[in-house]
Amino acid sequence: MEKPAVLKTDGSDFPDVLDYQSGFGNHFSSEAISGALPPDQNSPLICPFGLYAEQISGTAFTAPRKLNQRSWLYRIKPSVTHEPFKPRVPAHEKLVSEFDRSNTSANPTQLRWKPVDIPDSPTDFIDGLYTMCGAGSAFLRHGYAIHMYAASKSMDNCAFCNADGDFLIVPQKGKLWITTECGMLQVSPGEIVVLPQGFRFAVDLPDGPARGYVAEIFGTHFQLPDLGPIGANGLAAPRDFLVPTAWFEDASRPGFTIVQKFGGELFTAKQDFSPFNVVAWHGNYVPYKVHSVNFPSLIHTKMRGLFIKLFHHIHFIT
């Protein structure tokens, strides 16, 4: 079968309307070109259209079936075809993933933080990210970190990958257009988005300067809480969680930079193509978003704040 023409884009033409799949923890499948998903198997000797099969794992492959998380990605070029990673220069001094007495202090007083000012100089999501507090260790795979971000420009010819944990992003000001290896997500204030560990993504700012909060957890993944006496219809409904559909670009990108966070430090590697070249994928380890308006705090009561006890591990209250 002749390989069809693939979508070419410079990344600036983000669609006005996006298609999503719905569900929390479901096994999804999506293909930007019909027939790109291999039938009956995950990694055939020759994939349709000459694509490369890669698996991204969110858990050990021996994890119980109900806990096992992984996805198969079928891409135009292998993700490993990049130069060796090197420490990013200058270093990002405001990111922390190891919390101990050498770099933190305890304070029992109730604390509040005023909204941070938007940077005057051009600052993208990566450079605008900084740590407020946390506990545990990314290397020990236990704990969490709370960050904030303030950005004034889109990420240009680069992608970010967090090897330390999952990001839960809560925009407070400004819409985010997020391109991931599984597809695109449009995230506005009032919504939250989760970007799992290991996925590469880029953040564009269609409304200009943006600001918000980021929760990061190490060694585990966000889960929906048990309902208890609230009842079967309280809190977040799995159907309200939205997952992107496959989208890809097949364009030359000389000098494209992968920025990877590992142990709280940033490393960079160059490649000559976009990492968003996944033509098809299937699995249950995926980015997703949800809107707070779909969240009833009790059985029949709509919440008035942003959200209350949506996930285990991290509680945001407004």
Contact 177, 149 (CB under 8 A): no
In a domain, 10, yes or no: no
Banded pLDDT at 13 (limits 50, 70, 90): low
**Residue 299 placed within a domain:** no
Question: For residue 241, is it within any domain?
Answer: yes
pTM: 0.88
Checking if the pLDDT of 4 tops 50, the result is no
Asked if residue 302 is part of any domain, the answer here is no
Q: Round to whole Å and give the CA distance between 27 and 63.
A: 16
% residues pLDDT > 90 (the chain): 72
DSSP E strand boundaries for the chain: 20-22, 28-31, 52-57, 70-75, 86-87, 129-137, 142-151, 158-162, 166-173, 176-180, 183-187, 191-195, 200-204, 210-218, 242-244, 252-262, 265-273, 278-283, 288-291
| Structural domain count, the chain | 1
Q: Which residues of 174-201 are buried (b: 16+ CB within 10 A; e: fewer)?
A: bbbbbbbbbbbbbbebebbbbbbbbbbb
**Residue 298: what pLDDT?**
57
Whether the per-residue pLDDT at 107 is higher than 90: the answer is no
pLDDT at 228 (0 to 100):
83
107-126 mean pLDDT:
90
307 in a structural domain: no
For the segment 124-134, the average pLDDT, to the nearest whole number, is 95
Residue 123's domain comprises: 20-104+116-294
Q: What is the CATH number of the domain that holds 226?
A: 2.60.120.10
pLDDT tens digit sequence for 208-263 = 999 999 999 999 999 998 888 877 887 888 999 999 999 999 988 999 999 999 99
In a domain, 284, yes or no: yes
The answer to the question of residue 6 being in a domain is no
Query: How confident is the prediction for the chain on average, in pLDDT?
Result: 88
Instruction: Provide φ and ψ at 292, rounded to 5°.
Output: -65, -25
Residue 264 within any structural domain of the chain: yes
Residue pLDDT, tens place only, 41-86: 999 999 999 999 999 999 999 999 989 999 999 999 999 999 999 9
pLDDT tier at 7 (50, 70, 90 boundaries)? Answer: very low
